[in-house]
Structure 1
Amino acid sequence: MTDTTTIAPSKALLLMEGRAIPELFGFVAALPTLTALAPRGDGQPVLVLPGLTTSDRSTTSLRSFLKTKGYPAYGWKLGMNFGPRPGVEQGLIDLVHKLSDKHGRTVSIVGWSLGGIYARQLGKMMPDSIRQVISLGSPFGGHPRATNAWRVYEIASGQSAHDTDSHMGGAISAPPPVPTTAIYSKTDGICAWQNCIEARSDIAENIEVKASHCGLGHHPAVVYAVADRLAQPEGAWKPFDRSGFKSVIYPAPSYPV
């Protein structure tokens, strides 16, 4: 489904990443509406993973909102995300087990960019402990250099961007065996959107938003979609419903299945 010839987003889109700041202000302004409209789920634990070279501070807005909807939302507590360095894989596995044991529930994972790749891999490695996976602008398909961050990844992680089969859990393009939602933006200035979408199936879907890559963790449309996905009853996963007011905010898919 993804195109191996896809190139990185244009310089124009990269420059537009400055939208992330007004998108944060938009989130703050939209909080009363989001709080009123976003559904409340059954309170399963939610683990939120940050993107490359960011920390739990970057996911504060999303986690804080999820807590107001009754979810015990956690950061990864592994400091800055410098890629799959030694200790990251085991640290994440241990954390999922800890949260699952603490709450006596399976864990939902939301991952932003590289964090979403970790989330998908954990879904493959520990499907019995993970309820669902939601990725935000995560480039798990296509050419590994179809991103404007691949050089940063190689410097930060000490690994080649081409080394996509040695990640924890194996090849990153393979879908997890748990319900999976990929949230993406066609105006993403960091990662080619074509590489951030799932092959749709009975347990996999894509939701398009109009946002910057750096704003995906706090954009109102993303926050609502995450809350909507988390609110589904366990074992009764259904695709995102775009009817009503949501049809104006969330475009219908316009790419081959």
Structure 2
Amino acid sequence: MPAVRRLPSRAALLTEPPRAGLDVAALAATWPLFAAARRGDGHPVLVLPGLMTGDPATLVLRTVLRALGHHVSGWDLGLNRGPTSRVVDALRAHLDRLHRTSGRRVSLVGWSLGGRYAQELARAAPGSVRGLVTLGTPVGRGAPWVRTASGVVDRGTRRLRGAAGLPRPWAERGALRVPATSVYTRADGIVHWSSCRYEIRPRRENVEVRGSHLGLACNPAVLWLLADRLAMAEGTWTPFRPPLGLRVLFPRSR
């Protein structure tokens, strides 16, 4: 039996930036389609960026979701250098504040490492979370990518106040008890797509899109899926089914 590749290919990694540009171009070309996308009900949505990015990297995504009627917040913590104690405490407080001030559960959207944060927030406070969508995130707790990223984070944050003694990766106790959608692309040059898939179980789904890892936050298929997932009434989760005219954007979902 051939060995299973657990790291993206060198070609996929090197071509990430130009392929992300194609994702942006695809969004511009398909923008009129969003007039038919599902609208939000105004509940809070917290968007978490990937490693070594910040709120500017999710600006397009948040702008589209706001235009569709969602009450969207960025993470407001500057550059994402990893789960330092400051970040963990601030995210817990941010989630609690959004839940208390709105009186409604919060949807979480996390890109790459931000998706790991979203999972751990949902484990820590399932009563505050309506559901989550991860984009190019390794969803298994023991994924090799997470261990590698953890080492990078440890070295990079060694001098940061409050970083000492924090386990990597950030892990809360308890099962993930909220609806969860993992979005992945087989052309991902940063995270191997096979680590971005949940085991099939109730209220879990994996949805494949075409595109790059760096372009996931402006990929038209991702934005359409987010509009659909975030517009579901609380407690009425059903699996994602793309409309017939957009199925070419979604190679498979299950």
Query: Per the shorter chain, which TM-score range?
Result: 0.7 to 0.9
Task: Give the superposition deviation at 1:247.
Answer: 2.6
Structure 2 Cα separation of the partners of residues 147 and 185 of structure 1: 21
**CA-CA distance at 1:6 after TM superposition:** 4.3
Q: Using a 3 Å threshold, how does the CA distance of structure 1 residues 27 and 122 change in structure 2: closer, same or farther?
A: same
Q: Classify 1:149/1:87 alpha carbon distance in 2 versus 1 (closer, same or farther; 3 Å).
A: closer
TM-score (norm 1): 0.87
Deviations 1:109-163 (A, max 9, x none): 000000000001111110000000100000132542489967654543449xxx7
Q: Find the aligned partners of 2:233 and 2:195 in 1 and give their Cα distance.
A: 29
Task: Flag the 1:92–1:152 CA change in 2: closer, same or farther, 3 A.
Answer: same
Q: Counterpart of 1:138?
A: 137
Q: CA deviation at 1:94?
A: 0.4
Q: Secondary structure of the residue that 1:183 maps to in structure 2?
A: strand
Query: Which aligned pairs between 1:108-127 and structure 2 lie closer than 5 A?
Result: 108-127=107-126
8 Å Cα contact 1:6/1:143 also seen in 2: no
- Amino acid aligned to 2:37: A
Q: C-alpha separation between the residues in 2 aligned to 1:75 and 1:190?
A: 23
Matched AA of 2:70: Y
**Displacement of 1:212:** 0.4
What is the deviation of 1:55? 0.5
Equivalenced residue count is 243
The residue type equivalent to 1:20 in the other structure is: A
1:81-114 superposed Cα distances (whole Å, 9 cap, x missing partner):
0011121111001001111112111000000000
Q: Which residue of 2 aligns with 1:198?
A: 198
Asked whether 1:83 is paired with 2:86, we answer no
**2:217 maps to what in 1?**
217
In 1, distance between residues paired with 2:177 and 2:87?
Answer: 22
Query: Counterpart of 1:25?
Result: 25
Change (3 A) 1:243 1:200: farther
SS at match of 1:217: helix
Other structure's SS at 2:60 match: helix
Instruction: Tell me the distance in 1 between the aligned counterparts of 2:61 and 2:115.
Output: 14
TM-score (norm 2): 0.88
Distance 1:52 1:23, change over 3 A: same
Task: Kindly state the Cα deviation for residue 195 of structure 1 after the two structures are TM-superposed.
Answer: 0.5
SS in 2 for 1:245: helix
Q: Hey, what does 1:46 align to over in structure 2?
A: 45
Partner in structure 1 of residue 230 of structure 2: 230
* Alpha-carbon distance change, 147 to 121 in structure 1, aligned in 2, over 3 angstroms: closer
Runs (5+) with no aligned partner, structure 2: none
Asked if structure 2 preserves the Cα contact closer than 8 Å seen for 1:45 and 1:71, the reply is: yes
Stretches of structure 1 lacking an aligned partner (at least 5 in a row): none
| Cα separation, 1, equivalents of 2:147 and 2:33 | 34
* Aligned counterpart, 2:171: 168
Q: Distance in 2 between matches of 1:156 and 1:26?
A: 35
**Partner of 1:128: helix, strand, or coil?**
helix
- In structure 2, the CA distance between the partners of 1:145 and 1:127, relative to structure 1 (3 Å rule), is closer
State, as a whole percentage, how many aligned pairs show the same letter: 40
**Equivalent residue letter for 1:220:** P
> What one-letter code is carried by the residue in structure 2 that aligns with 1:64?
T
Task: Give the deviation of 1:37 after TM superposition.
Answer: 2.4
Moved over 4 A (4+): 146-152
Q: Higher helix proportion, which one?
A: 2
Aligned partner of 2:57 in structure 1 is: 58
C-alpha change, 1:147 and 1:128, in structure 2 (3 Å) is closer
Q: How much does 1:253 deviate?
A: 4.5
